[in-house]
Amino acid sequence: MQQETSHGRRHVTRRQLLQSFALAGLGVVLGGPPLASRTSAEVASATHQWAFVVDLRRCDGCEKCTQACQQTHFLGKDQTWIKVYKMTNSEGQAYTMPRLCMHCENPPCQRVCPVGATYRNSEGVVLVDQSICIGCRTCMAACPYEARYFNWGDPIPAPTGIGPTMPEFPVPQRKGTVGKCILCVHNTREGKLPACVQACTMDALYIGDIVVDAAANSRQTVKLSQLLRENDAVRFREQLGTRPRVWYIPGHGQKLDF
């Protein structure tokens, strides 16, 4: 059973999330087509391959996802690892579009980094090792999603004992380096939802696992491939060949090619 927080929000426990992903994976084995990209060798050999889904039909532009991310990672106001854009489609209808790092399978940011500070981990998450980053900002120029941020000033101090700074949890940020969304791998490894997913009161954000073909928001766990297929999900600027790991469910005829 899901627990209620003091604010009335549903909280998915570590046990619930892990059990849900395990059951969803069992369903894939017993029946139903797997996600197409599961045929790759890296997916077959990994315990998890993380992905993300944004349901634009549900997003109301509240920016609670942005605020939760900033609080979790002790970011400044100019550091919006998940930014909510106000958009207008070809028919003049307004909608909002959260945009984070796409965690590309073919990341241009990684290719241009001269020191190897940007890399993809075994679970498909693109990370930055700020102990190596020289702050050249070449990766920022290469990213077609504008998903990277330069740390111009001193970072916001983090409480002592919060844990060691590492690419999977770059807190506090390091001045003179680049930061970005890390899909809250420090949470997913513990069976918890990313901060943005947990904070979304509209249940518009899902963390997905390609290996077990499951996706979860703060309310439910569903089959990832079915969610994408039945809702005509698309990937932002996938014509660039970056193979993003973030899918969008438009629902209102939006064209995500700006």
Q: Domain ranges for the chain, please list them.
A: 3-249
What would the mean pLDDT of 24-36 be, rounded to a whole number?
41
How far apart are the C-alpha atoms of 75 and 79, rounded to whole Å? 6
Does 255 score more than 70 pLDDT?
no
Looking at the chain, the whole-number percentage of residues with pLDDT higher than 70 is 80
How far apart are the C-alpha atoms of 246 and 242, rounded to whole Å? 11
pLDDT digits 0-9 by tens, 176-194: 999 999 999 999 988 899 9
| Residue 1: pLDDT band with limits 50, 70, 90 | very low
Does 195 score more than 70 pLDDT?
yes
Does 18 score more than 90 pLDDT?
no
Question: SS3 of 118, please?
Answer: strand
DSSP type of residue 74 = T
- Residue 150 token pair: 């330069």
Phi then psi dihedrals of residue 207, to 5 deg: -95, 135
Could you tell me if 223 and 27 are in contact, meaning their C-beta atoms sit under 8 angstroms apart? Answer: yes
Question: SS3 of 162, please?
Answer: coil
Question: SS3 of 182, please?
Answer: coil
Predicted TM-score (pTM) of the model is 0.84
- Residue 31 token pair: 């029946």
Give just the sign of the alpha carbon dihedral 182, 186, 190, 193. negative
How far apart are the C-alpha atoms of 130 and 149, rounded to whole Å? 12
The CATH number corresponding to 3-249 among 3.30.70.20, 3.90.1150.10, 3.40.190.10, 3.40.50.300 equals 3.30.70.20
